[in-house]
């Protein structure tokens, strides 16, 4: 494999504390679109292996793929999972509450991944797989560069495709103007006032709320993962009828928060019991400590900047260039059966399969998995991925 100039960073030595399979290595490639990109890697011994790219969401890391990577590598693939811009050990992404969010635009996030792929000596990727906000990057990558990415798997978060471009002339521009979404104001007017979690994540104080919460970072991250998993028995999702306050308020408070709570307070109300913590096999205390240590170093702001950029006018205008474009590549959607993620924006799941992704014959729901499907049920996810890819072959 040509051009691979990798240097271990000084913080890498504490990463493997018995939680990574022996055939996974942790590396850093310097000078990728202004970043020093940290990634986990397996199946790298044969340079002729086809490449698979795994993209994490929030608040996750490359580490979130730890139990899927060995299965894919064992099936003959070179597998990489980077810490994306603003996360973990990838250095160079601004972790502060910045005003210029251009580096976090969806197009630039795709550029991060494309640059890493090319730097590793590849001109094509057999499959790009994204979970949560990583599904957005995977979707945009496959829509923008179908010549590079041969197939795509989206997980937990439906891909909504490009925004419509305003083609109005001076005479009808008012009619074609995109109407502002008033859902935040409308949620606040409910009898039990609520707010949307993405609006909260865009505030300047969200990072401090979570980093300096009363229960401590360890308990917060444990609670957050528990609340959105199949372990929390209240996760029994169903399609919502409309983008209205009354319908959205049917979702748990990790999505539609109580108006006066911050996220740490939301999570603390549904904290896992000691018995549930001890019996949690998909996220042991040793594994959880990796997240605690990493976010303890970096904070959450890098990931929160994704939410802020996603709502910016600049980001939308960039994406409007692709208005009307579809994903024609072979595609698959995977989610936990106990995950509210596929339903949090009513109609998006159906629109993705019926309109945006023209070659997505199947949607797979994995039982006994909430939002963290690749961590909660890694064997089933790996089987679905390999089955999808063998079908392509």
List pLDDT tens digits, range 380-393. 999 999 999 999 87
**Alpha-carbon span 356 to 162, nearest angstrom:** 9
pLDDT given at position 168: 56
Q: What is the pTM of this model?
A: 0.94
Q: Contact, 142 vs 356, CB < 8 A?
A: no
10-163+312-392: which CATH number, 3.40.50.1820, 3.40.50.720, 3.40.50.300, 3.40.50.10470? Answer: 3.40.50.1820
pLDDT given at position 167: 61
**Alpha-carbon span 358 to 355, nearest angstrom:** 6
Q: Contact, 233 vs 181, CB < 8 A?
A: no
Closest CA to 256 of 335, 325, 199, 321: 199
**Rounded mean pLDDT of 72-96?**
95
Quick check: 215 pLDDT over 90?
Answer: yes
Those residues whose C-beta lies under 8 Å from the C-beta of residue 173, and which sit 6 or more positions away, are 166
pLDDT given at position 7: 46
pLDDT given at position 245: 97
Quick check: 178 pLDDT over 70?
Answer: no
**Alpha-carbon span 374 to 335, nearest angstrom:** 9
Q: Contact, 206 vs 263, CB < 8 A?
A: yes
Q: How high does pLDDT run on average in the chain?
A: 93
pLDDT given at position 170: 52
Percent of the chain surpassing pLDDT 70: 92
pLDDT given at position 315: 95
DSSP H helical ranges for 14-160 = 69-74, 106-119, 133-144
Residue 278 buriedness (CB in 10 A; 0-12 / 13-18 / 19+)? exposed
**Alpha-carbon span 209 to 272, nearest angstrom:** 20
**Alpha-carbon span 137 to 159, nearest angstrom:** 9
pLDDT given at position 48: 87
Those residues whose C-beta lies under 8 Å from the C-beta of residue 338, and which sit 6 or more positions away, are 229, 230, 235, 236, 237, 367, 368, 369, 370
**Rounded mean pLDDT of 365-374?**
98
Quick check: 77 pLDDT over 80?
Answer: yes
Closest CA to 212 of 301, 145, 290, 280: 301
pLDDT given at position 2: 39
**φ, ψ of residue 266 in degrees (nearest 5):** -55, -50
DSSP string, 215-236: T-HHHHHHHHHHHTSTTSTT--
DSSP H helical ranges for 231-282 = 245-248, 263-268, 274-279
Those residues whose C-beta lies under 8 Å from the C-beta of residue 317, and which sit 6 or more positions away, are none
Closest CA to 341 of 377, 304, 371, 378: 371
Going edge to edge, which strands form the sheet with 127-131? 25-32, 35-42, 78-82, 51-55, 127-131, 152-155, 331-336, 363-366
Q: Where in the sequence of the chain do the CATH 3.40.50.1820 domains occur?
A: 10-163+312-392
Angle between helices 133-144 and 301-310 (to 10 degrees): 50
Confidence of residue 95 (pLDDT cuts 50, 70, 90): confident
- Tens digit of each residue's pLDDT (9 = 90 or more) over 245-301: 999 999 999 999 999 999 999 999 999 999 999 999 999 999 999 999 999 999 999
């Amino acid at each position: 494999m040509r051009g691979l100039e990798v240097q271990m960073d000084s913080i890498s030595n504490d990463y493997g504390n018995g939680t990574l399979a022996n055939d996974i290595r942790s590396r850093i490639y310097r000078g990728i679109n202004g970043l020093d990109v940290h990634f986990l890697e397996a199946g790298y011994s044969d340079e002729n292996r086809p490449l698979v790219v795994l993209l994490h969401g929030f608040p996750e890391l490359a580490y979130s793929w730890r139990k899927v990577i060995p299965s894919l590598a064992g099936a003959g693939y070179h597998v990489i999972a980077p810490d994306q811009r603003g996360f973990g050990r990838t250095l160079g992404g601004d972790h502060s509450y910045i005003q210029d969010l251009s580096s976090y635009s969806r197009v630039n996030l795709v550029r991060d991944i494309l640059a890493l792929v090319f730097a590793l000596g590849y001109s094509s990727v057999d499959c790009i797989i994204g979970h949560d906000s990583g599904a957005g990057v995977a979707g945009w990558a496959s829509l923008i560069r179908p010549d590079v990415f041969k197939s795509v798997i989206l997980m937990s978060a439906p891909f909504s495709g490009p925004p419509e471009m305003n083609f109005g002339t001076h005479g009808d521009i008012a009619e074609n103007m995109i109407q502002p979404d008033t859902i935040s104001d409308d949620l606040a007017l409910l009898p039990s006032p609520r707010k949307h979690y993405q609006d909260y994540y865009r505030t300047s104080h969200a990072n401090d709320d979570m980093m300096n919460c009363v229960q401590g970072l360890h308990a917060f991250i444990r609670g957050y993962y528990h609340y959105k998993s199949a372990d929390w028995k209240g996760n029994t999702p169903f399609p919502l009828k409309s983008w209205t306050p009354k319908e959205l308020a049917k979702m748990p408070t990790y999505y539609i928060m109580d108006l006066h709570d911050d996220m740490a307070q939301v999570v603390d109300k549904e904290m896992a019991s000691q018995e549930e913590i001890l019996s949690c096999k998909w996220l042991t205390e040793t594994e959880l400590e990796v997240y605690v240590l990493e976010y303890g170093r970096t904070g959450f702001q890098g990931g929160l900047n994704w939410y802020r950029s996603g709502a910016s006018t600049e980001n939308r205008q960039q994406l409007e260039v692709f208005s009307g474009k579809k994903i024609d590549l072979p595609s698959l959607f995977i989610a936990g059966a106990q995950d509210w993620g596929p339903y949090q924006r009513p109609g998006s799941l159906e629109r993705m399969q019926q309109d945006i992704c023209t070659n997505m014959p199947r949607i797979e729901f994995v039982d006994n998995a909430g939002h963290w499907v690749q961590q909660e049920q890694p064997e089933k996810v790996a089987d679905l991925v390999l089955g999808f890819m063998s079908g392509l072959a």
